[in-house]
Chain A
Amino acid sequence: AQSVTQPDIHITVSEGASLELRCNYSYGATPYLFWYVQSPGQGLQLLLKYFSGDTLVQGIKGFEAEFKRSQSSFNLRKPSVHWSDAAEYFCAVGPDNYGQNFVFGPGTRLSVLP
């Protein structure tokens, strides 16, 4: 069965510092991979996605992620964090056995210090 782990429940970084959020997955074939961000009280917004091709993917808000098949990872990075990046971040993989759905990780909450 597909699964996603996000080892860090909560991360705190200073504004301007670099950021890396970890995502590891278990999937039987080449997965579709996504990172979503959820601001407090809001729904999820897509940051970026990977299906094939270049393993370094650029997304919105200055985020990027790198797919590493050998490590079953899809880590999210940003070179310089802004206070507005404080949110919860979800990694997702799929499609699942239903064919249309994606499996989400438990999320990583990011706090940003001024």
Chain B
Amino acid sequence: DVKVTQSSRYLVKRTGEKVFLECVQDMDHENMFWYRQDPGLGLRLIYFSYDVKMKEKGDIPEGYSVSREKKERFSLILESASTNQTSMYLCASRPSGGYNEQFFGPGTRLTVL
């Protein structure tokens, strides 16, 4: 089975802190994604990566950056956390090709105080 893991299930940080969310997938997928999930808004794409060291902005990249130094790992960085970044963060991976779905990690519930 494809496995996508996220470094933390729950995280509490202070305003202004630098936050790292880590995601690892074990199926050699080319594509990896970071979403944030808020009630009533569904999943909104923050960033995605289609290859090592490659990244593309999604719909809501402001306040975030990403890093993909290895194929299996995709990190989301909040340079200076703010309270409006309190949310559920979901990582996903997907092999290239049209007929493939995304595989999701369990999510990280981030609270910024």
**Residues of A with Cβ closer than 8 Å to B?**
4, 9, 32, 34, 36, 41-46, 49, 51, 90, 95, 98, 100-102, 104-107
Contacts and interface: CB of A to CB of B under 8 A. Distances in A.
A34 B101 contact: yes
Contacts of A106: 40-42
B12 to A, nearest CB: 16
B112 interface: no
Interface stretch (B67-75, B78-86, B92-100): B92-100
B42 A43 contact: no
A101 B101 contact: no
The residue among B99, B103, B104 with the most chain A CB atoms within 10 A of its own CB is: B104
Given A51-B99, A98-B56, A101-B58, A42 B107 contact: yes
A46 B43 CA distance: 15
Chain B contact residues (Cβ within 8 angstroms of A): what range? 20 to 34
29 contacts: A4-B42, A9-B40, A32-B98, A32-B99, A42-B107, A43-B90, A43-B104, A43-B106, A43-B107, A44-B43, A44-B90, A44-B104, A45-B104, A46-B101, A46-B103, A49-B101, A51-B99, A95-B98, A98-B48, A98-B58, A100-B31, A100-B48, A100-B96, A101-B33, A102-B102, A104-B35, A104-B43, A106-B40, A106-B41
Interface of B: 4, 9, 31, 33, 35, 40-43, 45, 48, 50, 56, 58, 90, 92, 94, 96, 98-99, 101-107, 109
A111 to B, nearest CB: 15
Contacts of A105: 42
A79 B21 CA distance: 40
Nearest to A43: B104
Given A32-B99, A42-B106, A49-B101, A104 B42 contact: yes
